A and B are shown apart, each in its own frame.
Chain A
């Protein structure tokens, strides 16, 4: 078996084209073990495409992805075993309750009896045990994010890949997710997440990669990328603000 390297996630020359459009353009990125890394960028920058390729849901046009030292193409099963994934805008087994979904997930992964303790902890800390009779299909956006995170964490993966975990959720739900992720990173886990929410990235991430038009424009610690500004200001400076003009009819 191949020994894990220091990089929890490593992207080398990662490229993805859709017809004539290059969504991800020869990206190199290495995220060390125990790092809380955020990928930020405007809509269409390629964030979700990168995360989909890391999760093995999209094949790269060229380049490689390795997770915990395993190549996601050649050593797919090992790489997937090290990953916990939460994707934005996708269904879960919708006709199960949260407890049933975690039970099913544990069974699907062939987990030992410890799953039940973990499941109870996750349901309690994410306050999903308050709606034990509700099916996933009836969950609010915040509850969906929470159960998605619980599914991703249940097997205690070495790397968490989260697509927009803070999108369209209330501050209380965001706080409980943030707390859980901090615990996970403190325990040696690695988080790679995408987000539009600069405040959350600034508050939680130790490292940030700024993406636009499929390329990384800046990469480093949050203070390095912000360079004395707020991360939001740095983001607008890098990406460029939308044209502004006065609309008389709005006055």
Chain B
């Protein structure tokens, strides 16, 4: 059997026998999205919708292929190229032979279904257009798959270097900021006076089609070339105008494939020896720290908090997440500042608390089997939980509260007390969630002693992160809701009191719950991490 067939066979077996829950969920969710794209095509073909909307839908699909690897840095391919490093073949050849297996994925199936919309819109335009549409489906799919694969390989490559880590962190933070606050400039345009309590909507002509410049821009990008070819064929344009975008898709797709092969070859060439974490502690600082510590007795909680602060700065995964947690609200701030909604800036404290909870919701799994020391030291579990909460407050909680106060002063927002109450509640709940969810929903990846860079499997804590997101956001709304229900919404101290109470109660309740959870199921968690 040839090498590429063996790779395909291996991937099919792994897909069949490996964990399937995430993949099944992704397939179902993706097929729903693909069905929406096909539905758009049906509406376009029956002239109830302008075809520019289908171009936009396919462009969004292309964006997802690009963003996926950036949003999930460190995700390891199903067939990890490093497994095949010792095969007696040139790295370039092994990478090339991996090509067919890379086409086998849930994303390919979903995209193929979505792109069948090309055939739907072409159906009413004659045989030539249908043939062009079928060619466009294949070539657009080819382009999108290699766009995603090369983006993933590039992100993995960048994450191996310190500078690359910063670039990747910035990319992801920018995307998160746009995802969470990108709507603010639009909303501020339509409701410019909302900050003064006025809700007059700025109206313009309704969009039955995308604005012409936007549609042209989408058709110029490679994600729009399939639609451009179909449009030209349907308009009986010259064969050159039909073949040019299709040829372009083939060429760009091949170029992206070549990039992927090159980067995969580089991965295959990496030495098998274990690399170094490239982190060294400055001697003078370490000695000073020891001298200071020697003169006093450290209590267990402070010892844990000190360990946590060092780990946040030195663990590659935690350091990346720390950068996300701070960069994202700062970039959101830059998005909101120039708009008419600058009054909403103090509410960024809630967003910062949400992100800080999300990035800290898997720390027990990230620390891995080091849990044994806590389970075998008297009183250590309690100290660890409280120490983690203290370090979270020092890293995120207190700075968020101070920043919210400063933003309140700068913007002189009329809603300052609502923002402050929401921030107090969300900071407390985020602090509570981070440690509790780490113990309740650990996403186990590679053990801490084997992780030296962000390009390694550190677990997928999406479940814990979504739970943290929901709980913290809900907690931030509670002071406002309770004040409204009690009809005391105008009293500033009620918002502050409610926010403080909700935050404090969350921390007070989550601490013992986490301790009980770790004490009762710690050995099982340790065994799971040892065998992972």
Q: A95-B311, A112-B297 are in contact. Are A57 and B526 (CB under 8 A)?
A: yes
> Which of chain B's residues 358-402 have a Cβ closer than 8 Å to chain A?
367-370, 372-373, 375-380, 383
**CB contact list, A88-121 vs B, under 8 A:** 89-97, 99-100, 103-113, 116
**A137-B449 in contact (CB<8A):** yes
Expressed in whole angstroms, the Cα–Cα distance for A112 and B379 within the complex equals 16
Interface residues on A, range: 35 or more
A206 to chain B, nearest CB (A): 25
Q: A91 contacts B367, CB within 8 Å?
A: yes
Distance in angstroms from A238 CB to nearest chain B CB is: 29
What is the minimal beta-carbon distance from A106 to any residue of chain B, in angstroms?
7
**Interface status of A6 (Cβ within 8 A of chain B):** no
| Contact between chains at A109 and B377 (CB < 8 Å) | yes
Query: In the assembled complex, which residues on chain B have CB atoms less than 8 Å from the CB atom of A87?
Result: 372
User: Beyond A91-B368, A132-B286, A135-B277, is A56–B303 a contact (Cβ under 8 Å)?
Assistant: no
By a CB distance below 8 angstroms, the chain B residues around A99 are 286, 290
Residues of B within 8 A of A106 (CB): 298, 303
A133 pairs with B307, CB closer than 8 A:
no
Of A27-35, A75-83, A169-177, A228-236, the one touching chain B: A75-83
Please count the residue pairs between chain A and chain B whose beta carbons lie under 8 angstroms apart in the complex: 141
| Contact of B293 with A by CB under 8 A | yes
Chain A nearest CB, measured from B433 CB (Å): 23
Contact B293 A116 (CB under 8 A): yes
A103 touching B383, Cβ below 8 Å: no
Query: Contacts A107-B303, A113-B294, A113-B296 hold; do A58 and B370 have CB atoms under 8 A apart?
Result: no
Let me know if A135 and B281 touch, CB within 8 A.
Answer: yes
Count of interface residues, chain B, beta-carbon cutoff 8 Å: 50
In the complex, the answer to whether B298 meets A90 with C-beta atoms within 8 Å is no
User: If the complex has contacts A56-B375, A108-B377, A109-B377, are A91 and B283 also in contact, measured as CB distance less than 8 A?
Assistant: no
- How far is it, in angstroms, between the C-alpha of A112 and the C-alpha of B300 when the chains are bound? 12
B452 within 8 A of A: yes
Are B294 and A116 in touch, CB under 8 angstroms? yes
A58: nearest chain-B partner, CB-CB: B523
Check A100–B369 contact: CB distance below 8 A. no
Q: Quick one: given A107-B303, A108-B383, A113-B297, are A94 and B377 in contact (CB under 8 Å)? A: no
Tell me, rounded to whole Å, the shortest Cβ–Cβ distance linking B444 to chain A. 12
Tell which of A85, A97, A110, A132 touches B299, judged by Cβ atoms closer than 8 Å. Answer: A110
A95 and B283 contact, CB distance less than 8 A? no
Chain B positions 428 through 456: 1 when the CB is less than 8 Å from some CB of chain A, otherwise 0: 00000000000000000001110110000
With A80-B378, A104-B306, A107-B303 known as contacts, the answer to whether A93 contacts B297 (CB < 8 A) is no
A55 at the interface (CB under 8 A from B): yes
Rounded to whole Å, the gap between the CB of B45 and the closest CB of chain A is 58
Tell whether, in the assembled complex, residue A93 and residue B370 are in contact, meaning their CB atoms are under 8 Å apart: yes
- Interface: B48 (CB within 8 A): no
Partner of A137, one of B294, B306, B448: B448
**Contact A100-B279, Cβ < 8 Å, known A80-B378, A94-B448, A108-B380:** no
Name 13 interchain pairs, CB-CB below 8 A, sorted by A. Answer: A80-B377, A85-B376, A87-B372, A89-B369, A91-B367, A94-B367, A95-B311, A100-B307, A103-B290, A103-B298, A104-B307, A108-B303, A132-B286
